[in-house]
Amino acid sequence: MNNKTVLLALSGGVDSAVSALLLKKQGYQVIGLFMQTFRDEINSKNPCKSKSSMTDEKMAELIAKKFKIKFISKDYKKNYYNQVIKPMISDYRKGLTPNPDIVCNKLIKFPYLLREAEKLEADHIATGHYAQIKKTGQGYQLLAGKDKTKDQSYFLYELDQKTLAKTLFPVGNLTKEQVRKIAEKHNFPNWNKPGTKGICFLGKTQGIKPFLETKIKPMKGKILSPEGKLLGTHQGISYYTIGQRIEEHLGLSINKPKEFAQKRYYIAEKRKNNVIIAAPENHPSLLKKRAIIKSLHLINPNMIIPYSGLKARIRHLGQFHEGKLTKQNNKYIFTFKKSIEALAEGQSIVLYNKNQVIGGGEIRL
């Protein structure tokens, strides 16, 4: 009989609910922790609610009661705002394209789970992430989830050996369809609840631009062609990202040259003087061959890095790009086998060796 205790991040979603069931079946003593991270003043409509009137916290508490496990709710809203949202706004103000979900895992979710687990004398922490952990003679490996359409390993590249040693991902070896079937079979009230898409506090329909407009004042700037010709105007580089399509309803207005009148235009570059470079589809300026990796984090620093034969992702569930990692003048550089589009500073590049996450960092060009 397993007599170990697990502190589970119980979010109110189906993934963490099924995680609770699986852990109980494995004999663990489970404690459910609901982490309050979203400030009501950011969006009074509370988009983190499900389609029903029940909040995620109430759903999490309901799941805990179903399994007769201890339930705790902790307020981390101030920490989340100061450590995730404020730096995110600052990065956008600088023209970067940050990923707050990665920062949240690094600074909020896993550190505070570990802290609470220590207080409660729990042996492990657990989350409903679609990822896997493998213990080897050289340390712990972070692997992609079995369900390639739901794999969340991209968001977890900042985890370290100490954290992986304490962490369990109960649904990492399952597909989302299997998880829902398990939940339906056991009459979970949230078995068909839609998963959260994007950043929760923005809601399911609101984009990042309307949110940033409440935090960053617009600053009219020029849109130039790669050759330097004036095409139009924009509302401020903070509101846009590399690879984004030029569309008037987004405050991006251009007059296309006759020869490119039928072509779609995309943002190829954002310059510090509040200038956007826009180019027609398939233009060479939209392509990049390499990325400088700022503050490369390795999941296992003692592991020998296979500098060649790696694959990289530049967004969650994005395409894998083959390439080679090199170190030049104390900078790590990933050179892509084929030039790629939509490479934006501030995004995270995550390196994989087959299905193992090696590490990653922020993109600089």
Residue 287 CA to residue 283 CA, distance in Å, equals 8
Residue with tokens 């068909």: 192
User: Is 200 among the catalytic positions?
Assistant: yes
CATH 3.40.50.620 fits 5-128+170-202, yes or no: yes
Structure tokens at 147: 């369900």
Residues with Cβ within 8 Å of 234's Cβ and at least 6 positions away in sequence, in order, are: 220, 221, 222, 223, 240, 251, 252, 253, 276
- In this prediction, residue 40 carries a pLDDT of 45
Structure tokens at 276: 């956007």
Which stretches does DSSP call E strand in the chain?
5-9, 29-36, 70-75, 124-126, 131-136, 139-144, 167-168, 221-224, 230-234, 253-254, 265-271, 275-280, 287-298, 310-313, 321-328, 331-341, 348-353, 356-364
- In this prediction, residue 64 carries a pLDDT of 95
Which stretches does DSSP call E strand in 38-112?
70-75
Residue 90 CA to residue 81 CA, distance in Å, equals 12
The one catalytic residue among 164, 200, 277, 351: 200
Q: What is the pLDDT of residues 323-355, one digit of tens each?
A: 999 999 989 999 999 999 999 999 999 999 999
- pLDDT above 70: residue 196: no
Residue with tokens 């100061």: 82
Q: What is the pLDDT of residues 39-89, one digit of tens each?
A: 544 444 444 443 444 688 999 999 999 999 999 999 999 999 999 999 999
Residue from 270, 272, 309, 314 nearest 293 by CA? 314
What's the first-to-final CA gap in the chain, in angstroms? 54
Question: Which residue ranges does the chain devote to CATH 3.40.50.620?
Answer: 5-128+170-202
- pLDDT above 70: residue 1: no
CATH of 287-364, one of 2.40.30.10, 3.40.50.1460, 3.40.640.10, 1.10.3720.10: 2.40.30.10
The one catalytic residue among 104, 156, 202, 212: 104
The whole-model pTM stands at 0.91
- CATH fold of the domain at 217-282: SH3 type barrels. (2.30.30)
User: Is 48 among the catalytic positions?
Assistant: no
Question: Which residue ranges does the chain devote to CATH 2.30.30.280?
Answer: 217-282
